[in-house]
Structure 1
């Protein structure tokens, strides 16, 4: 892995908390709050310069811009929601370009697992009774935050153990 292990260890607690927030919010409201997107960006901006080599940290801004542009186009065509696109852009600085061959299949696997789990769990009466007002139980759309947040957390956990 190309993400420095020490940097991943410093960022992991914040990434996990924000990822859980995003997953919960998207399931409950079918919405990823802008505050969560900003919190993830703030985490990168506040901690990144101290734990990452400056060149790696700066490339994160390029990653953000590229993913934001792609996400904007995908939102315009109706492929993803705006919150999903914004959160993916906020995730982008954390993903090293050399790790894309690891991250993208992992993201695909997390999306599939999250989709299947969500579709199964929402059919369980006890679960629905425990969270009766969650919008994702009734909507046809999948709450992508349920996959995006955990995928970034898994990546950071792997980097903390196996990073350079």
Structure 2
């Protein structure tokens, strides 16, 4: 089993609940909490130190800095929510640079599926199960934490299974 697969298998049980929480809170409240983002950072800080060689571990922190910088610029330009930018930055250290194209495919698939599922639920009787969710009434914003959390979870599970 590769280092990436081993790390993904160890991270998944800790990261998947955070991803579910992010999807849920973004659908319900249209926000990604700082606690969820902080949890991802703490999980990587501890797990990464144990799972990766020191050079790989330190380079992974650069992923967070680069993605956060890009996210802040996109947020200031109105192209991305602040919570989405913070989540992407916190998720970045989990992703190997060699897997970027794989992650972009996963993100494209989860984004399309997320929009489709959200729109179907919003326009069906299903939304009556959770009538208080803010995402049902939004017309100009989408709860991107839903596909982002799904993408990180899918990446970790698929990477662990790829071995």
* TM-score under structure 2 length normalisation: 0.95
Rounded Cα–Cα distance in structure 2 between residues aligned with 1:9 and 1:102: 17
Aligned residue in 1 for 2:137 = 138
1:18 maps onto 2:6 in alignment: no
| Structure 1 stretches lacking a partner, 5+ long | none
* Residue aligning to 2:69: 69
Give the whole-Å Cα distance in 1 for the aligned partners of 2:55 and 2:38.
Answer: 22
1:96-115 aligned at under 5 Å gives the runs 96-115=96-115
Question: 1:28-107 alignment to 2 at 5 Å?
Answer: 28-107=28-107
Aligned to 1:8: 8
Give the unaligned 5+ runs of structure 2: none
Show structure 1 runs of 4+ deviating over 3 A. none
Match of 1:122 in 2: 122
CA distance in 2, matches of 1:146, 1:45: 24
Count of matched residue pairs: 162
CA distance in 1, matches of 2:7, 2:56: 11
Secondary structure of 2:47's match?
Answer: helix
Compute the TM-score of the two structures, normalised by the length of structure 1. Answer: 0.95
Instruction: Work out the CA distance in 1 between the residues paired with 2:122 and 2:103.
Output: 28
Q: Deviation of residue 3 (structure 1)?
A: 5.7
